[in-house]
Amino acid sequence: MNVKLNKLSLGLAASMVLFAALPAQAANKYGCIYVVDPWDKIVKDPYGNCIRTPYWTAAKNIAECGGVAAVEPAQPVSETITLGADAFFDFDRADLKPAGRAKLDKLAADLRRVKSVTNILIVGHTDSKGTDAYNMRLGQRRADTVARYLTGKGVPGSIISTRSEGESNPVAPNTLPNGKDNPAGRALNRRVVITVMASEKVISQ
């Protein structure tokens, strides 16, 4: 009888130790949903199953114990292509040259090939000849010309937006240090910049 009582006492004492230890699981890196050893590793049963605590829920299950691994969302890829005056826009014009159309044909093919394109921003720029208001309109005409060409080649218009920055964002001096005209610099400023957003690289070489 004494032996049985001693075994019962030992069993009760072991149970009390186990339940007393459960709150301590909150200190481990799994948020107390699994039993861990002193090295913070999950304890598993002979069948390889993770031993859970009463705090475990299916939503908290981790990949190591049969849960679905979290998938990191793809980072957006931003690419920019500049269409300059050498292939696109003469002074005071918004017409595409043959070389410009060829370059846009290639871009349109890339845009149709990649299905993850979310946004295409087309920004028109001008040189400093003319008034600010006139150049804002000219920049918009250039951006709209490119947008119409791309949609005509099958690029969805719903993902295209356009705007003009006129002469406000030059990439080269419109005049020389002595104040004289700088035709080469003004040509660089007559441009359209296309920015493509997608979850993968779009523009091919």
Residue 115 falls inside a structural domain: yes
CATH number of the domain that 160 lies in?
Answer: 3.30.1330.60
pTM: 0.64
pLDDT at residue 7, rounded to an integer: 44
Domain count, the chain: 2
Confidence check: pLDDT of 58 > 50: yes
CB 120 within 8 A of CB 195: yes
Say whether both 31 and 97 belong to one domain: no
Q: What percent of the chain has pLDDT over 90?
A: 47
> Domain of 103?
77-198
- Answer with the one of 13, 43, 65 that is the final residue of a domain: 65
Residue 70 falls inside a structural domain: no
- Answer with the one of 65, 91, 113 that is the final residue of a domain: 65
Residue 203 falls inside a structural domain: no
Confidence check: pLDDT of 145 > 90: yes
Q: What angle do CA 194, 195, 197 make, to 5 degrees?
A: 145
Say whether both 151 and 55 belong to one domain: no
Half-sphere exposure of residue 22: CA atoms within 13 angstroms, side-chain side: 13
Residue 205 falls inside a structural domain: no
- Answer with the one of 16, 33, 65 that is the final residue of a domain: 65
What is the residue-averaged pLDDT of the chain? 82
